[in-house]
Structure 1
Amino acid sequence: MKVIKTAFAVTALAAAMAPGLGMAQTELQFGHVGNPGSLFDASATEFAKRANERLGDDYEVEVYGSSQLGGDSSMMQKLKLGQLTFTLPSTVMSSVVDEFGLFEMPYLIKGREHMKRVIEEVLEPELYPLVEEEGYKILAVWENGFRQITNNVRPINTPEDLDGLKLRTPKGKWRVRMFEEYGANPSPMALSEVFTALQTGTMDGQENPLVQIYSQKFQEVQDYLSLTGHVYTPAYVVVSRSHWEELPEEVREVLEETAQEVQDFVYETAARQDEELLGEMEAAGMEVNEADKQAFIDASGPVYELFGEEVEGGSDLIDRVLELGKGE
């Protein structure tokens, strides 16, 4: 059986019989920005393995990491064009639907169990439909993780230590707003460009979950790691709504069920990596410090207020998520 590798993964669903070759196998491409060893890489690879065991001979999920198919924004466009089947955006979702800026609010999500309740009571009933209005569909919510700050200037203990620091952020306005409020000089930049920016001094620092920091090898070009845990970022398994509907129902069922089943694997892997990688960072020569999180929380009020003012229903969303986190 011949596997036809095609950029137009979903629109090739009606592949015809080729003389002497039998039915072509349709490749379902899964693109993401994570490098080998990242949580994104582990998550997408596990999804592909499980899905392919159930799909049979006509369809196969193939994973393309390390921004091979573009950055997050580019891959979201490719979904709509039918050039890609799945992608795994995180922060960029707030550029698609304003309400997803909720997950850019500092210290909002307390932990993974809290996030599960938020998925069930806020994301699925209220935010999923907003995504579908934009032409996308979320199959499952995985994880990017709790974000920490690295830089080459000084340890970050309080927001004051960020004053004037040239800090790379993902492409989402609320992360920029937050770090401006803390006194830094934030600049959005694609993940694939960050290593060089840090190495050359174009950027003093960046913020990411530990597993992204390590898999991107930022420890090779950064001196300080400050454990701020300022934002927990989910990651979303996203498809194009219209192209998704072109897949056979039984194929869609396998893919959606598998994406949701993989969530537990993602959370378990993320928790283990968080524990293991701190030692790896220190062994690489980074100076690690625990930041004063309360000082950051105290400085975060204006960001919450802006979200409430600029996003319809934003204050109510924040209040409900905070209520779901009580006791964590």
Structure 2
Amino acid sequence: MLKRILAGLAVGAVSAIALSSAVTAQEFTLRLPNVDPPYSSVGELRYPNHIYAMMRTFEDALEGLSGGRIAVELYPNGTLGDLRENVESVQAGILEAATPNEGTLSGFFPKIQVLTVPYVFSNPVVAWEVLDGPWGKALFKEMTETTGIRAVAVGENAGFRIWANNTRPVAGPADMSGLKIRTMEITAHQEMVKSLGASPTAIPWLEVYGALQTGVVDGAELPIIGALQQNLQEVLKYATIDQHVYSLGFIVVSEQWFQSLPDDLKQAVIVAGKQAEIAGRGVSQALVGDVTSEFRKRGVEVTVASPAQQAEFKATAQPGVITWASGQFGQDYVTSFLDAVEAAEAELASF
């Protein structure tokens, strides 16, 4: 009898544990949206969208690290609204996560615009050193504390952005004079365009094709991968690669939601975010060269600015944006950023 009772208790305990595991298997849900489709085709190659690569990596990593206690749901193609709406929902605690770029985030945390000082990063590795180092960590900590939005992955929005237009090739600042140029909804970008002698017009991403097609703008400031993905080569004649702004793509989460997690799951979110940002940066870097070649194949005349031309662009565009940023955020803050860039350059040169 005692053996049967003990056996029954053991079975009951196992059942209780199994039931408890089933209940806690999806203890939390994280919904992660984006506006772009998951995959893009470049010539004969098919790639995951660089932001979707971050999302998919984050999903797999977080569900694995949490033992299934956090279920991640991906919503590409704008099914939960545009980027700004997503971030508003995250800030309000309605949505757990979003995937904005620096343009979208600037509406909630204006200081992030200092990262868009034109021609400040000589290559992506310098940008990574700054973003992942003490200066970047302090910036994103301040964003969390002041907005309730936590950046858990700082990836690439296709890396360096490009100029493109339908009027003439752009090989130097003088070629920008008088052009009506689309920008993201970010003041720093508009100040850059003004410094180059062009007229900026803020247009949401999904409206860019129509604006170029109808002549509302002569050209646009664009992410190179996204431009091809949105078939903008159909409404563009010229493109210039000059490394003027290193563009970022984020995974952000609601700080309210993050703080509701137990410590082990908070750690899982942080680790999954680091995995995601590495994946996003890698896919972006791998794709840029193929996209540039595809632009040429599809009839877009691509100009790659020489070091001398880049220096001319920098001398023309950078001072005005630095002056504007200093007035907005303080000279000390801007100087601290420029010092961090200089330190990163020196670190990478110390081989």
Which TM class, normalised by the smaller chain length?
0.7 to 0.9
- Alignment partners' CA distance in 1, 2:313 and 2:344: 18
Residue 96 in 1 paired to residue 114 in 2? Answer: no
- Which ranges in structure 1 are unaligned for 5 or more consecutive residues? 1-20
Shift of 1:181: 1.3
Q: CA RMSD in A?
A: 2.1
2:335: which partner in 1? Answer: 316
Shift of 1:111: 2.2
2:198: which partner in 1? Answer: 184
Residue 256 of structure 1 aligns to which amino acid in structure 2? I
Secondary structure of the corresponding residue to residue 95 of structure 2: coil
- Whether the 8 Å contact between 1:169 and 1:187 is mirrored in structure 2 is yes
Structure 1 residues 87 and 268, CA, compared in 2 at 3 Å: closer, same or farther?
A: same
- Which ranges in structure 2 are unaligned for 5 or more consecutive residues? 1-21, 41-48
| Structure 2 length-normalised TM | 0.81
Structure 1 residues 150 and 55, CA, compared in 2 at 3 Å: closer, same or farther?
A: same
Greater displacement, 300-309 / 45-54: 45-54
Name the larger-Rg structure.
2
- Alignment partners' CA distance in 1, 2:25 and 2:67: 13
1:11: which partner in 2? Answer: none
Secondary structure of the corresponding residue to residue 252 of structure 1: helix
Q: After the TM superposition, which residues 183-262 of structure 1 pair with which residues of structure 2 at under 5 Å, given as runs?
A: 183-262=197-276
Residue 294 in 1 paired to residue 305 in 2? Answer: no
Q: After the TM superposition, which residues 27-46 of structure 1 pair with which residues of structure 2 at under 5 Å, given as runs?
A: 27-36=29-38, 37=40, 38-46=49-57
1:306: which partner in 2? Answer: 324
Identify, as 1 or 2, the structure richer in helix: 2
2:88: which partner in 1? Answer: 77
Residue 117 in 1 paired to residue 109 in 2? Answer: no
Residue 150 of structure 1 aligns to which amino acid in structure 2? A
- Alignment partners' CA distance in 1, 2:234 and 2:272: 36
Aligned-pair identity (%): 25
Structure 1 residues 82 and 178, CA, compared in 2 at 3 Å: closer, same or farther?
A: same
Shift of 1:22: 6.5
2:15: which partner in 1? Answer: none
Residue 106 in 1 paired to residue 118 in 2? Answer: yes
- Alignment partners' CA distance in 2, 1:265 and 1:226: 26
Residue 68 in 1 paired to residue 101 in 2? Answer: no
Structure 1 residues 139 and 153, CA, compared in 2 at 3 Å: closer, same or farther?
A: same
Secondary structure of the corresponding residue to residue 72 of structure 2: strand
Greater displacement, 45-54 / 227-236: 45-54
Greater displacement, 218-227 / 242-251: 242-251
Residue 139 of structure 1 aligns to which amino acid in structure 2? V
- Alignment partners' CA distance in 1, 2:24 and 2:144: 34
Secondary structure of the corresponding residue to residue 308 of structure 1: helix
